[in-house]
Amino acid sequence: MQINLTREDLLKPLSYVAGVVERRQTLPVLSFVLLKLQDGELTLTGTDLEIEVVARIKGLKGNNASAEIALPARKLFDICRALPADAEITIKREKEGEKATIKSGKSRFALATVPVADFPNIQSQQWEQALTISQASLKNLFEQTHFCIAQQDVRYYLNGLLLEFVDKKLRAVATDGHRMAISEIPLEKSNKSEKQAIVPRKGIQEMMRLLDDPDGMVEIQVSTNHFRAQTSGFVFTSKLIDGRYPDYTKVIPHSQSKLLKLPREATRETLGRVAILSSEKYRGVRFSLSNKSLQITAHNPEQEEAQEEVSVDYSGEAMEIGFNVNYMIEAISSLCSEYVVFGLNDPNSSCTLASPEARYPQYVIMPMRL
């Protein structure tokens, strides 16, 4: 078997697939990429058994025969990346079981292969929900929420992003138990039925990397156990986290007695400066609210202190409340408006952060004791 193509043909699709493949796998075959040539179209498949990415290279000339081969994903990607920009590449193997030869100019590489029959694939069921939206909208939805997904929480359903199909909206919710992000995008057509799907953290991170065409469209499909995103260049499939997501609406404060309108960029910079002297372990900062003033202070175990003051339109009772400064900075950075509305009730209640112009994205952050 033989496959002829250029470095430019191979590099981008291979980068899609190599991101899913882990360097250290319990099953050796999972560190390989499956190349399948048929009718002048080459597909590259990588999987870790939870996520599968299939990238397509169409219109390959001079490749009339069919071919299948599994090669080490990371090594093939590194070789391809190291070759000159206009390099011609030939992938060749005389017979099954032998090493494959990668040739380009005067360069030659012999790579191990595994039997194609050993390569796993994710079997999906009948799709219950399907819609087509712009890649930019979906990527933006993920960027506004993904950083609030829990990492290795025993409540396994928090280790993913909740996608909720409601009416003519696609909503995303993420929480790690200390903060929560909610955002949504409008859809042109109503969903067939209301449905929830929890996509694993790694799946969301991979999709954010794959959705790289701001003018392109992506088709989303959901079944009982799987989520699929499909464009002309790739097919992404992920198993869903099995579990019931908590009722996030109970966490959102329905009314707040103190609403502060702050300049977004200046507030983010202020928090960044104060964070320098916050405790590296707890990252806590104190917000002291009084007449026309918001004072932000941080202390650390070395008895060092940072203090900043922000002018605010506030004339109520004085109040002190502590927050994780990283949570505040990440939420404020994800808002795109000129100002941010900071909602509070009392020192023991969660705060909210949102744009004055839109309801979503919205962030809820629990206070912390300092």
Equal CATH topology for 2-118 and 129-249: yes
Token pair in block for residue 219: 């088709």
CATH superfamily of 129-249: DNA Polymerase III, subunit A, domain 2 (3.10.150.10)
Return the C-alpha torsion angle 276, 277, 283, 285, nearest 10: -110
Model pLDDT, residue 138: 97
Per the CB < 8 A criterion, the answer to whether 160 and 199 are in contact is: yes
Residues in the chain, overall count: 370
CATH of 2-118, one of 3.10.150.10, 3.40.630.40, 3.40.50.620, 3.40.109.10: 3.10.150.10
Per the CB < 8 A criterion, the answer to whether 83 and 89 are in contact is: yes
Model pLDDT, residue 268: 97
Model pLDDT, residue 125: 73
Model pLDDT, residue 182: 98
Looking at domain 253-365, its CATH class is alpha beta
Residue 271, number of CB atoms within 10 A of its CB: 22
Phi, psi of 307 (to 5 degrees): -145, 135
Model pLDDT, residue 167: 87
Model pLDDT, residue 27: 87
**pLDDT by 10s per residue, the chain, length 370:** 889 999 999 999 999 999 898 777 778 899 999 999 998 899 999 999 999 999 999 888 777 788 999 999 999 999 999 999 999 999 999 888 889 999 999 999 999 999 999 999 887 778 888 999 999 999 999 999 999 999 999 999 999 999 999 989 999 999 999 999 999 999 988 877 889 999 999 999 999 999 999 999 999 999 999 999 999 999 999 999 999 999 999 999 988 999 999 999 999 999 999 999 999 999 999 999 999 999 999 999 999 999 999 999 998 889 999 999 999 999 999 999 999 999 999 999 999 999 999 999 999 999 999 8
Residue spans per domain, the chain: 2-118, 129-249, 253-365
SS3 of residue 78 by DSSP = helix
Residue type for position 138: L
User: Among 177, 180, 178, 176, which residue's Cα sits nearest to residue 145?
Assistant: 180
User: Among 42, 14, 43, 18, which residue's Cα sits nearest to residue 30?
Assistant: 18
Phi, psi of 78 (to 5 degrees): -65, -40
Model pLDDT, residue 121: 85
CA distance 17 to 11: 10
- Residue 173 burial (10 A CB sphere; 0-12, 13-18, 19+): buried
